[in-house]
Chain A
């Protein structure tokens, strides 16, 4: 971990750079994980627009895998997907698999 700044090295009431949340692991408390069926995905990118945590990643206009470092499992993407391509699965199932 980088050394912590001292009080007077910090900006008053702000962080001296933008986009700092991207560096944090904010997906640790997810209960449900969105699992995308690429076969069904039509790349309408509605999930990308609606994801409140910018966890849906795209490349050249195509849907990529969800970034699980930031996904909190809210399920908006699954609820809004017009193709029903996203299924919310309990994280505990993956924990069992991983074990």
Chain B
């Protein structure tokens, strides 16, 4: 039986992990993720899971332990934020290349420096080329649902790649929201048993893991990863459909909100999309501006085709980036614009916002929609990249 509860984002992830009951979880504390591991450690101490909790000396070790556990055949998971993810960097690539279907909850936080503990996406944006899938969450319900689905997506034989479940630090991690949770039996049936077909402990069929591959083989291993990632969109959709049958909550690669007849569409990731949806509703009602919102759930793999479909009818498209690639602009903006090239025309603007947790309120979101409408009406699209709310 499903149950309605009040949980923070961290507690939602910890609760999902409790129901998943991974064989191994290796964790190291970092704000704002720390409460997630505290909560999970309590489940371990109370005997509610059989997970072997490995308390390591750094995030580099946490990810290494997760890789080791995974190649040994265990279902493994971890959680981190910001600089903790940065310290995992080297091993993120190894997890992906060793085809470890592990799950990491990443509580998005700005990378230092200056030191800042609040939300932006600079941490996970930097890991976008590591070979991990990335799912972004709008609210605590999605944190819970995505963590459970991530296990299935990662372990699917067509994919077998690690998955990051990304959710906004403090805005979600420390905010109490009402959500619906499944009963444990339902979750365990949904995820099933994990059986890695090749594993380190199967000495009767010895294999080499974490191997050396030079000019003659490295390239082929990389192409295998490319192919696995190319299989991922269909798997994400399939698992999302199965999950919808189970819970009534449907998930795909993206979530198009009032896009069908929209003249102005804003794209983005994470919790801000909730605010932007409210702004779209208000502007439609109060100013007759036809606004739509396209929330990207799966940033990796990048759902180019589905994005193009959703924004095809818009007069102008804005992209919200909670990270900046210095010397370029917003990473999401550039990927969307690149996806359109040769297929779809239309003006686009990039809105960098919320760095280091700078709040973006309802009025700011409306302002972004209005500036898109103004640009569309006047035909003036410069500057392309705009920094929302910066003092200058």
Contact surface of A with B, Cβ cutoff 8 Å: 4-7, 10-21
Contact = CB atoms under 8 A, between A and B. Distances in A.
A17 B97 contact: no
Contact of A10 (B98, B160, B206, B224): B224
B1 to A, nearest CB: 39
B198 A11 contact: yes
B303 to A, nearest CB: 23
B99 interface: yes
A4 B208 contact: no
Contacts of B48: none
B198 A4 contact: no
Contacts of A12: 99, 160, 224, 228
Contacts of B208: 14-15, 17-21
Contacts of B217: 4-5, 10
A12 B207 CA distance: 11
Interface of B: 71, 97-99, 160, 198, 206-209, 211-212, 216-217, 220-221, 223-225, 227-228
A14 B98 contact: yes
Which of A6, A15, A19 has its CB near the most chain B CB atoms (within 10 A)?
Answer: A15
B206 A7 contact: no
Contacts of A14: 71, 98-99, 198, 207-209, 211
Contact of A19 (B206, B224, B225): B206
Contacts of B223: 7
A82 B220 CA distance: 47
A4 B216 contact: yes
A6 B224 CA distance: 10
A21 B207 CA distance: 11
A11 B220 contact: no
26 contacts: A4-B216, A5-B217, A5-B220, A7-B220, A7-B223, A10-B217, A10-B220, A11-B198, A11-B207, A12-B99, A12-B160, A12-B224, A13-B99, A13-B221, A13-B225, A14-B99, A14-B207, A14-B209, A15-B207, A15-B208, A15-B211, A16-B207, A17-B208, A18-B207, A18-B208, A20-B211
A16 to B, nearest CB: 6
B224 A13 contact: yes
A47 B379 CA distance: 77
Contacts of A20: 208, 211
Nearest to A12: B99
Nearest to A9: B220
